[in-house]
Amino acid sequence: MSSSAHLGKTQWILAALCVLVVAFIGATAGKWFAEWRQDRALREKLEKLYSSNPAKLNVGDAFPQLELLDLDENVIDTKTVIDGRMALVFFLAPTCDMCSELIEAYREHMDRLPPELNTFAICPDTPPMARFYADEHGLPFSLYCDTAQSFQFDHGVIAFPTLMALDENGVIKYVNFGMMEDYALEDILQELARF
């Protein structure tokens, strides 16, 4: 009788453990599925942008007036950042190796750029992540955060790095989406020399 009672108690413990394991697996699977759906929705949104001519900012267009965050999390708009000067705008992503290569190429050509040129970068990350990136690479220009990812989703800047040259009125004079060949920075230098 005591053996039977002991067997019943063991079965209850095993059943309880099974319920806990199943509940844990269910919760984990539910969380994974929710994240998967969010990732899939984001991927579909980006694929739609890629397939529908993402280049919504082209030569001759006015650079968008949007709110950004500086590395201290202060709100600043793009018009204030441009400040009525010629500008060279980098769109960077901290996980992008080509972005790091572009920064090094820029560093090599800095002395050939007009002294009045305003150079800055925009990334889709948070200020703490952007500050880490700026410190790690010793960025020779200011970095701002587009945490709302407006440039990505509203203006089609989805290739990193992207580089734009603006005149003093904020009109785009040169644009290069995505990977750059070595001569692209030379093209930009020549374009900047013209205005």
> Does the pLDDT at position 7 exceed 50?
yes
> Does the pLDDT at position 120 exceed 80?
yes
| Digit-coded pLDDT (tens) for 130-174 | 999 999 989 999 999 999 999 988 888 888 888 898 988 999 988
Sign of the torsion angle spanned by Cα atoms 116, 117, 118, 120: negative
Residue 77 shares a structural domain with residue 41: no
Are 58 and 172 in contact, with CB atoms under 8 Å apart?
A: yes
Residue 101 shares a structural domain with residue 6: no
Half-sphere exposure of residue 118: CA atoms within 13 angstroms, side-chain side: 16
Q: Hey, what amino acid is at 60?
A: G
Number of domains in the chain: 2
In the block, residue with structure tokens 């929705």 = 41
Task: Look over the chain and give the mean of its residue pLDDT values, rounded to a whole number.
Answer: 81
| Digit-coded pLDDT (tens) for 24-43 | 888 887 788 778 777 777 66
> Does the pLDDT at position 96 exceed 70?
yes
Higher pLDDT, 103 or 67: 67
pLDDT above 70 covers a percentage of the chain that reads: 79
Range of the domain at 182: 67-194
User: Given this model, what pLDDT does residue 189 score?
Assistant: 65
Q: Hey, what amino acid is at 191?
A: E
**Residue 143 to residues 44, 121, 155, 165, 189: CA-CA distances in angstroms?**
28, 5, 19, 16, 21
Find the CATH number of the domain harbouring 95.
3.40.30.10
Give the pTM.
0.68
Residue 90 shares a structural domain with residue 182: yes
**Residue 161 to residues 80, 96, 121: CA-CA distances in angstroms?**
23, 8, 10
> Does the pLDDT at position 121 exceed 90?
yes
Residue 126 shares a structural domain with residue 172: yes
Most confidently modeled range among 11-15, 26-30, 69-73, 184-188: 69-73
- The model's confidence at residue 195, banded by pLDDT at 50, 70 and 90, is low
